[in-house]
Amino acid sequence: MVIAIVDDEPLIQSTLVSYFQNAGFAVRSAETADQLRRLMAREKIDFILLDIRLPDGDGLTLMREIRADSDVPVILITSRAEEADRIIGLELGADDYVTKPFSPREVLARVKTVLRRTRAVTDPGRGKRLRRFAGWCLDLENHRLTSPAGESMRLTSAEFELLAALVRHPGRIMSRNDLLDVMSSREWDSNDRTVDVLVGRLRRKIEADPGKPQIIVTEYGLGYVFAEKVA
């Protein structure tokens, strides 16, 4: 497992590099966006920890570039004053974020959580790993979504986990807290907009008209309902 740690603060970078090496990861470090681009061009990276502020550009711009052709899991490193940027990062496809100051143990726990979501989502009905709705096919075992036209649709681990939770409970109102509970073990802020951001991302991918959703429907003040029949 090769993880790239992208941060221009020497203390943060050296601390994370040492910690993840001791945890058994092969670690690559970068201080700038350009260094990460060159790194990804010459070898396969399995995970990225990405500082949202880099000396040669915006980490959010780099996040957009990464998602243009890769579904590699990404956790953003932000400061507490960058809430708006965190939301934008999630909208661009980041899987999670961690805020400074943090402990390396917390970061490792977040990485492991995202990896568990990426590798597999345990389905209580193993015989029904394929779920079909509105022409779409969701493979719960292999983390794959196929469009009605037969094209593979790229999902981040967080998008996949949220969609899987909704698909498993069609017709049921699921509150934001319900959805956060199935997404990870981390403690979420009660005002966290993560679910809303992820729902918006999913709608842009699977709804014919994201502005008038028919599949993932909002129940105002309550949460979201998966309104399509699931086979």
pLDDT at 211: 93
Q: What is the mean pLDDT of residues 107-133?
A: 71
What pTM value is reported for the model?
A: 0.63
End-to-end CA distance of the chain: 36
pLDDT at 129: 83
CATH number belonging to domain 2-119: 3.40.50.2300
Paired tokens of 141: 């075992």
User: 136 forms bridges with which residues in the sheet?
Assistant: 133
Domain residue ranges in the chain: 2-119, 126-226
Sign of CA dihedral 35, 39, 41, 45: negative
- Output Rg (C-alpha) for the chain, integer angstroms: 18
CATH number belonging to domain 126-226: 1.10.10.10
- Around Cβ 45, how many Cβ atoms within 10 Å? 20
Q: 138-162: b or e for each residue (b if 16 or more CB lie within 10 Å)?
A: bebeebebbeeeeeeeebbbbbbbb
96-100 and 74-79 beta bridge pairing: parallel
Higher pLDDT, 121 or 211: 211
pLDDT 10s digits, 17-67: 999 999 989 999 999 999 999 999 999 999 999 999 899 888 888 999 998
Paired tokens of 60: 């959010």
